[in-house]
A and B are shown apart, each in its own frame.
Chain A
Amino acid sequence: AQSVAQPEDQVNVAEGNPLTVKCTYSVSGNPYLFWYVQYPNRGLQFLLKYITGDNLVKGSYGFEAEFNKSQTSFHLKKPSALVSDSALYFCAVRDPWGDSSYKLIFGSGTRLLVRP
């Protein structure tokens, strides 16, 4: 079955330090991968996506993510965290060749807390 795992409910990091939010997926074939961010009582904002090509994808607000097919991972990274990055982050996967090719499958989310 298709699934996405975000193994950490919360990630804590000091401002100025690098951050990583982990995501692994279980989808056969070549999936499309997405990261979204959600601020309290708001909708999801798109950060970046991997479709094909370079495994390192750059997105909004200085975020980037690395696709690793052998480890089935798509971790979100930022070289220097800001307090304003504190939010809920969702990883999502789409299997364009599966039975449910229309669907985005979401992880359960990781709360990022950046302390001053």
Chain B
Amino acid sequence: DGGITQSPKYLFRKEGQNVTLSCEQNLNHDAMYWYRQDPGQGLRLIYYSQIVNDFQKGDIAEGYSVSREKKESFPLTVTSAQKNPTAFYLCASSGSGFTDTQYFGPGTRLTVL
């Protein structure tokens, strides 16, 4: 987990609220990613960014939004349009080469009340 921080560790949301999950890295990585993890499933890509001020949708982007204003930061907003947001959210970062390894943060567990 070293080098990538996520906050908060636990987050509770009421239905209809937007919430923002923080992800910061000090690894000087160009690329950053957001994944969602549900029990019994692998990780699914929500959004990714290969460079500052640019990002692309992953496989399950509906109901989520991101920004990449700084190289070290890639916040994820879970909007009220996301119908089933309860999950474990993982942020990752990597260098920009194809062989570069993705390193993960400790995760944020979001629960909708």
Contacts and interface: CB of A to CB of B under 8 A. Distances in A.
A90 B104 CA distance: 13
Contacts of A34: 101-102
B17 interface: no
B1 A108 contact: no
Interface in B88-108: 88, 90, 92, 98-99, 101-107
A8 to B, nearest CB: 13
Contacts of B109: 41
Interface stretch (A14-22, A77-85, A99-107): A99-107
Nearest to B58: A103
Contact of A43 (B1, B50, B56, B58): B1
Contacts of A96: 98-99
Contacts of A36: 104
B106 A102 contact: no
Contacts of B31: 102
B41 A108 contact: yes
B101 to A, nearest CB: 5
Contact of A41 (B92, B102, B107): B107
Interface string B17-33: 00000000000000100
Contacts of A11: none
Given A41-B109, A49-B101, 18 more contacts: A41-B88, A41-B107, A42-B1, A42-B106, A42-B107, A43-B90, A43-B104, A43-B107, A45-B1, A46-B104, A90-B42, A102-B31, A102-B48, A103-B45, A103-B48, A104-B43, A106-B43, A108-B40
